[in-house]
């Protein structure tokens, strides 16, 4: 199943079913991942994005779960392996 079919219904409208909402990476999560992949610590990411360290950790856990990475290193390696240009 491709992403278009997965995230859009038959009329081309977004499909925001509970299953899809849990698997979509948000813009904020992407911001956090970009900085993590640049080697920043949670504190540095928090300072850069004006959020708490707790929020950074939550975003890292959320994205890791969504892409099936076991931990922070797995998240970074997954981004490198998939050649994501963050």
Residue predicted with more confidence, 60 or 82: 60
CA neighbor of 74 nearest in space, from 86, 53, 60: 60
* pLDDT score, position 29: 93
Cα–Cα distance, 26 to 41 (Å, whole number): 20
CA neighbor of 72 nearest in space, from 47, 27, 40, 50: 40
Average pLDDT over residues 10-36: 76
pTM over 0.75? The answer is: no
User: What is the pLDDT of the chain when averaged over all its residues?
Assistant: 81
Average pLDDT over residues 18-30: 77
| Token code pair at residue 16 | 């925001």
């Amino acid at each position: 199943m491709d992403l278009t079919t997965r995230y859009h219904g038959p009329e081309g409208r977004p499909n925001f079913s509970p299953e899809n909402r849990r698997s979509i990476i948000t813009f904020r999560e992407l911001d956090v991942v970009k900085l993590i992949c640049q080697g920043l610590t949670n504190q540095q990411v928090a300072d850069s994005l004006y959020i708490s360290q707790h929020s950074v950790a939550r975003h890292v856990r959320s994205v890791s779960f969504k892409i099936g990475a076991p931990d922070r290193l797995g998240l970074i390696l997954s981004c490198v392996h998939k050649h994501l240009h963050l």
